[in-house]
Amino acid sequence: MNVILMHYTPLEVCSHAIRTCWQSFNKSDNGGEKDRELIERVGNKYKHSSTLEHLVYTFYIKGISRAVLQELARHRVASLSVKSTRYTLKELKSEEPFSIENLKRVEKYVVLTKNESVNSAIINSLNGLQNLLKSGISNDIAKYALPEAYKTELTWTINARSLQNFLSLRTSKSALWEIRELAYLIYENLPDKHKYLFKDFVNKKNG
């Protein structure tokens, strides 16, 4: 799994939006401590969190399972552009059959668990999908046999308000292990100057 922060909104855009309400632009310090405190106070402390929607982050996320992709889709105030199975499943056609004896090659395409029985079932599904593709069945039909563990990647854009909700839910110890790992990586990849807005929404890793 890999997360890359591609783009983010400067803090002064959010502080400018807040100051628009009171026309207090003359008190701005261009994204400095005054503006940072203002965003924290209005957006987090006073819960006028719609102001945080002016802060937007775009991440490139690689190597997550389609099971996690499904969970990401539940966070609806976000935009997802996902690797297409219609155009990319051909990547399996040139491979030899997969086996439990060579997990490194298997992990190029799927996310494995710590359960050997589940991993064995994943590999069987992967081989079944490969056989369908090699038999000439189109990607659009064969993809119905995709295992949930099949790896994908996406460009994901989300605003700060929705990201706070995501981090709160997905760093919980009750969250699926894989999306919990993803949530911590997303937080770690935020700009250092922005992390103060999210730190209270992130559960401890050993929690």
Give the residue numbers marked as catalytic: 170
Position 24, amino acid: S
Spatial separation of the C-alpha atoms in residues 157 and 133, rounded to whole Å: 32
Tokens of 19: 């100051």
DSSP assignment string, 67-89: HHHHHHTT--SEEEEE--HHHHG
Residue 1 CB-density burial (10 A; 0-12 exposed, 13-18 middle, 19+ buried) = middle
